[in-house]
Chains A and B, each alone.
Chain A
Amino acid sequence: MGSRQVIEKSLTLLRSLPRVSLNNIRDNPGSKRTQKRGRAQHGGDKHGCGNKGSGQRQNFMRIGYETGTNPFYLRVPQEHYYKGHHYRRQYPPLSLRILQEMIDTDRVDVTAPIDIASIVKTGLYNFFPDQKHFGINLTDEGADTFEAKINIEVQWASELVIAAIEKKGGVISTAYYDPHSLFLLKNPKIFFESGQAIPRRMIPPQDAIEYYTSAENRGYLADPDQISQARIKLAQKYGYQLPIIENDSDYNILSERKDPRQIFYGLEPGWVINLKDECILKPKDEELLRFYSL
């Protein structure tokens, strides 16, 4: 292979590779030598192992072993109340009173559907997807004084909360987001700046499917006919006149929903958002379209 070919080949390779940065470079080969353990007069003393005993002989005991005595970790009886707590999904609470206060102080725009992105955007809701936070639990504090007519999407809601929102002519739905899409919803700007294509939202895990397919919880995977029946049923239970959404002047806002595979309102998976030139890059490739339509 001629040198010209090599240059061209490496240039084409460079074009497809990511930009050279601190996280993808390494030292020159042979520039570093690992230190060898010295013997006798060449630094052969204790080698950081101390004098005598377990440390020097390197017979490391298993963790918690107390050389024969009943170890501490077995001395106390086990309690399983919190078994698997670090796997459980956490839903940090947001009360209806605080949501109303956000609306009153113009932090949340009522003329658009509210989702976790618009709640996090207020800066008044602590949300950490890396700490097993899976979204908002809308709680019923301030349900009596709640007045706003909104289209809101949360991750967990009680019956009273659903009633409080539907009484005022609003719409509530519960939806599942996988941790990766929650990171995008927490800070969409940083994600768009990274130049990556918007991914698909994942379907809920096995133990969450029941919640998100039930019409009583207004799940996003529930049958719409069953949801409208459940709305009427709840209105009868709590004794209020259910406002008809179809006749509402804000019908377009109230009827806006996301696709189960969609993360952001109005933006489809596979699109790349260019914030600098204010344009959207949409895939036309057959392979990509097939991937993102699944």
Chain B
Amino acid sequence: MSAGVRHNVSFETNNIVLIALVAIRSIRYSKWRRCCVHGARLRGFLLEKINFLTSQYSSFAKSPFVDKITEQYNYEITKNPTEWKFVERLMPFKTIPQVVPKESYPSGWIPPKEEARKLPYFIPRTKNYAIPIYLQLSFKGNRKITQLKKIEGDIWLMNDDIKHLLKTKHKRYVETRVHEVARFIEIKGDYVNDMKEWAFSKGF
């Protein structure tokens, strides 16, 4: 808790210099200079004052207008667990917290089911416990592609199931693209909500 140099030249001191300068000028060019003895005396007094105020010091920090610098402020060190709780609350998560099972999830988030691991194909959740099904827009939103990522197991069987499901639901042929190495399926068109609904029903 150390402070830097505080230049405490007051506003008033600066004002005095200004007023004095103006006063000297006005005395010099006014009739008071000739006719009044007091004018000359006043002028001498003001000049003396200005010499004091504008005299040169070896450095600004050594001038009488600067306060002495405080290098160390007085403080106390406390260790209070009740206060430290507020600090701990602000610290970032070291890992993403595990979801504690609850009775209901009002937001519509659905926890994955263990039984889904036994299926011939599987989609694991992302690190944020979301299902990796996304809508990819390109050509200024003209081309819509639904992408299912991170697919494990029999990707071709999953492709057949998806195609069959969408054909029966929408009564039209749906184009898909399977990338076996990168483990994703792309469907031409926006079927994100259908696919999410299907994935949750499977327990992914």
State whether these chains interact.
yes
Question: Provided the pairs A16-B69, A283-B73 are in contact, do residues A100 and B106 lie with their beta carbons within 8 angstroms?
Answer: yes
- Asked if B107 and A100 make an inter-chain contact with CB atoms under 8 angstroms apart, the answer reads yes
Question: Provided the pairs A283-B1, A285-B75 are in contact, do residues A189 and B97 lie with their beta carbons within 8 angstroms?
Answer: no
Cβ of B173 < 8 Å from any Cβ of A?
no
- Please name 26 pairs of A and B residues whose Cβ atoms are closer than 8 Å in the assembled complex, sorted by A: A16-B2, A16-B71, A101-B108, A104-B106, A105-B129, A109-B89, A121-B90, A121-B92, A142-B107, A145-B108, A148-B106, A188-B91, A266-B83, A266-B85, A267-B87, A273-B87, A274-B77, A280-B78, A280-B83, A281-B76, A282-B76, A283-B73, A283-B75, A285-B75, A287-B70, A287-B73
Query: Using Cβ atoms and an 8 Å threshold, which residues of chain B touch A123?
Result: 93, 96
Distance, CA A103 to CA B99, complexed state (A) = 10
Cβ of B142 < 8 Å from any Cβ of A?
no
Q: When the two chains form the complex, which single residue of A100, A106, A189, A280 contacts B90, counting CB atoms closer than 8 Å?
A: A189
Which residues A123-176 have CB closer than 8 A to chain B? 123-124, 142, 145-148
Cβ of A261 < 8 Å from any Cβ of B?
no
Cβ of A232 < 8 Å from any Cβ of B?
no
Closest to A190 in B: B92
Query: Using Cβ atoms and an 8 Å threshold, which residues of chain B touch A278?
Result: 79, 84
Which residues A247-294 have CB closer than 8 A to chain B? 264-267, 272-275, 278-285, 287-288
Query: Using Cβ atoms and an 8 Å threshold, which residues of chain A touch B71?
Result: 12, 15-16
Number of interface residues of B (CB under 8 A): 36
Query: Using Cβ atoms and an 8 Å threshold, which residues of chain A touch B75?
Result: 272, 281-285
| A interface with B by C-beta (< 8 Å) | 12, 15-16, 97-98, 100-101, 103-107, 109, 112, 117-118, 121, 123-124, 142, 145-148, 187-189, 192, 197, 264-267, 272-275, 278-285, 287-288
Distance, CA A99 to CA B84, complexed state (A) = 26
Query: Using Cβ atoms and an 8 Å threshold, which residues of chain B touch A148?
Result: 106
Closest 4 CB pairs of A and B: A266-B86, A100-B107, A101-B107, A147-B106
- Asked if B107 and A280 make an inter-chain contact with CB atoms under 8 angstroms apart, the answer reads no
Cβ of B8 < 8 Å from any Cβ of A?
no
Query: Using Cβ atoms and an 8 Å threshold, which residues of chain A touch B79?
Result: 278-280
Cβ of B41 < 8 Å from any Cβ of A?
no
Query: Using Cβ atoms and an 8 Å threshold, which residues of chain A touch B106?
Result: 100, 104, 145-148
Minimum C-beta distance from B78 to chain A (A): 5
